[in-house]
């Protein structure tokens, strides 16, 4: 019976039971794709990451939602970096990952934080797709297209108040919909807030989405005239990030906490 280690990591938080949980499975060789997808469905988290050491000292990294393999996942990369630097190579200062989105790195930062380097993907203005306002229950001030559809709302209170019809969101012509607004009211201590809905990927609402901040950082950086921004994803679990826009790259700083260690068998 095959077995692999499994770690569940809460990413983009410094305390257990917050942020975005990801499962990380270090493997000697990748299982068959259908097995990795079955494992992701068994874990029933936004993402399950599979990490395999390479001869050059880096790692190959793949991510699966309960529905399919994805090209980029930020929080599961942060979680994988936490496992590599905390468990697999505790003497290292940086973990390098080869992925569908190129080489990504996670390095040790200050005060126990981790610093993650991802590709930037500035969104472009676009007309609102049919059915978007009805699906969200609110009409966006603006919409922009990228890896995800960004729907810009007037303030943080409006983002927190969104009650999406997930079946309708799945019918919108977009892989996922991210609602965002400037930090106001109780969220005035951050530059911007967001939430992300991805029912097509088997995730009604993702708790904290690192890959969305590849779009959000250049958007808000340009709009606010800032290179480094504080961000909060205001899902039920809540996540905190510091985002720095570096041209074609985005640097995300966050914490991660291990909450489960075990072995998975099939």
**What residues does each domain of the chain span?**
3-114+254-265, 124-247
Predicted confidence (pLDDT) per residue in 114-164, tens digit: 999 999 999 999 999 999 999 999 999 999 999 999 999 999 999 999 999
Cα(80)–Cα(61) distance, integer angstroms: 8
CA distances from 200 to 12, 99, 196, 237 (A): 23, 22, 12, 21
Choose the CATH number for 124-247 among 3.10.310.10, 3.30.565.10, 3.30.450.20, 3.40.1160.10: 3.10.310.10
Cα(214)–Cα(121) distance, integer angstroms: 6
CATH of domain 3-114+254-265: 3.10.310.10
Predicted confidence (pLDDT) per residue in 84-102, tens digit: 999 999 999 999 999 999 9
Q: What is the mean predicted confidence (pLDDT) over 232-253?
A: 97
Q: 156 by DSSP, 3-state: which?
A: helix
Cα(193)–Cα(181) distance, integer angstroms: 6
Tell me whether residue 47 is one of the annotated catalytic residues: yes
Q: What tokens were used for 176?
A: 């996922």
Predicted confidence (pLDDT) per residue in 31-73, tens digit: 999 999 999 999 999 999 999 999 999 999 999 999 999 999 9
Cα(110)–Cα(14) distance, integer angstroms: 13
Judge whether 257 and 13 are in contact, CB under 8 Å.
yes
Q: Indicate the helix (H) or strand (E) that contains 33.
A: helix 33-43
Cα(6)–Cα(104) distance, integer angstroms: 21
Percent of the chain with pLDDT over 90: 100
What is the pLDDT, as a whole number, of residue 1? 85
Label the pairing between strands 249-254 and 239-246: antiparallel
Say which of 47, 205, 240, 251 is annotated catalytic.
Answer: 47
Domains 3-114+254-265 and 124-247 share a fold: yes
Label the pairing between strands 177-182 and 192-198: antiparallel
Burial 16-27 (b: 16+ CB within 10 A, else e): eebbbbbbbbbb
- pTM, entire model: 0.95
Judge whether 155 and 182 are in contact, CB under 8 Å.
yes
């Amino acid at each position: 019976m095959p077995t692999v280690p499994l770690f569940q990591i809460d990413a983009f938080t410094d305390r257990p039971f917050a942020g975005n949980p990801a499962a990380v499975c270090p493997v000697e060789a990748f299982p068959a794709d259908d097995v990795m997808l079955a494992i992701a469905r068994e874990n029933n988290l936004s993402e399950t990451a599979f990490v395999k050491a390479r001869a050059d000292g880096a790692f190959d990294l793949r991510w699966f939602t309960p529905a399919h393999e994805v090209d980029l996942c930020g929080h599961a990369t942060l979680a994988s970096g936490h496992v590599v630097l905390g468990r697999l190579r505790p003497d290292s200062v940086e973990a390098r990952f080869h992925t569908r989105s190129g080489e990504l790195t996670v390095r040790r930062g200050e005060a126990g934080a981790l610093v993650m380097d991802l590709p930037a993907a500035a969104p472009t203005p676009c007309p609102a797709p049919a059915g978007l306002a009805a699906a969200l229950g609110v009409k966006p001030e603006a919409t922009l297209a990228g890896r995800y559809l960004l729907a810009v709302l007037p303030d943080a209170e409006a983002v927190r108040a969104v009650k999406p019809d997930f079946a309708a969101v799945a019918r919108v012509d977009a892989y996922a919909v991210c609602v965002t607004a400037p930090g106001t009211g109780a969220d005035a201590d951050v530059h911007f807030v967001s939430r992300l809905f991805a029912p097509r990927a088997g995730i009604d609402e993702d708790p904290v989405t690192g890959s969305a901040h590849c779009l959000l950082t250049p958007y808000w950086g340009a709009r606010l005239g800032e290179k480094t921004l504080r961000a909060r994803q205001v899902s039920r679990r809540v996540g905190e990030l510091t985002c720095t826009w570096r041209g074609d790259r985005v640097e995300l700083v966050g914490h991660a906490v291990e909450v489960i260690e075990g072995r998975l068998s099939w």
